Amino acid sequence: MYAFTTAKSERASDENEDAMTVLLSFSASGKRVHRVVVLDGKTMSCHPRHFARAAALSLAIEDRFDRAAELGTEAWDAYMEDREVPAHWAVPGQLARGPACTALTVTTGSDGLIRAAAIGDCCLFITQAGRFFDSFPLRSLSDFQPAPDELAPVRNNGKPRRVYRGSVRLCPSCVELFAMTDELARYVFRELAAGEQPFHRLKVRSNAEFLDLVNEVRRSQEAADDDMTLVWWAP
């Protein structure tokens, strides 16, 4: 399993608003179970990375988005209190208050099932023999929305969160999974729409290779300058 993340080009690494967690456990029969969590903190919300990081750890342990929102809110409140920033921070015309993020969890286990759950537009791509097989929760570039569903503090007033869940059983010997945040997913969907299979390009094995990929797609304008996170593995 390989996991990488990077901030926007003009931001320091500690300003990365994405968060990810990879958890390896074992079933009662001794087989490996992987839980991958990818979250994308929304830039126009208030200090989302502190909320996203705590929520990612929560989701790695327990696949409950309500509990993740609670723990993320606790971490964010503590950070804001330390900074003496008023909790009613707001930007007119944007999020009314507080942090927000989109989220994806993927679990692969001993039963041969790939289970995924998502709020918003972080995406999972499934390949067989190196070629696109399926994606979740979005199916094409047109499925992206200007204002996707978000994981946010329960006290926030806004539209209800919709959690999408799915599962698929595949032959594990020829399957690879790619979990990523939205801007990298847009790049993949553009390539697929053009008849390309970009997954060999995503199979980076070092942070240097990942940064080379990100810089290349940014320079070529195949992707915007956004925080990017990628986790890929063979279940």
| pLDDT tens for each residue of 4-33 | 999 998 776 667 889 999 998 887 777 788
> For the chain, what are the domain ranges?
2-233
Residues ≥6 apart with Cβ < 8 Å to 116:
104, 105, 106, 107, 124, 136, 137, 165, 166, 167
Q: pLDDT value at position 172?
A: 64
Between 235 and 186, the more confident residue is 186
**H or E element in which residue 216 lies:** helix 207-219
Q: What pTM did the predictor assign? A: 0.88
For residue 229, name the pLDDT band (cuts at 50, 70, 90): very high
Residues with Cβ within 8 Å of 131's Cβ and at least 6 positions away in sequence, in order, are: 197, 199
Q: Decide if 25 contacts 61 (C-beta within 8 A).
A: no
CA dist., res. 50 & res. 53, Å (int) = 5
Beta bridge partners of 132: 127
Dump pLDDT digits (tens) for 60-98. 998 899 889 888 888 888 887 776 655 544 444 444 557
pLDDT (0 to 100) of residue 95: 42
What CA–CA distance (Å, rounded) separates 135 from 24?
23
Element (H, E) at 83: helix 65-83
d(CA 44, CA 82): 21
Looking at residue 204, its pLDDT comes to 96
CATH ID of 2-233, from 3.30.1490.190, 3.90.1150.10, 3.30.360.10, 3.60.40.10: 3.60.40.10
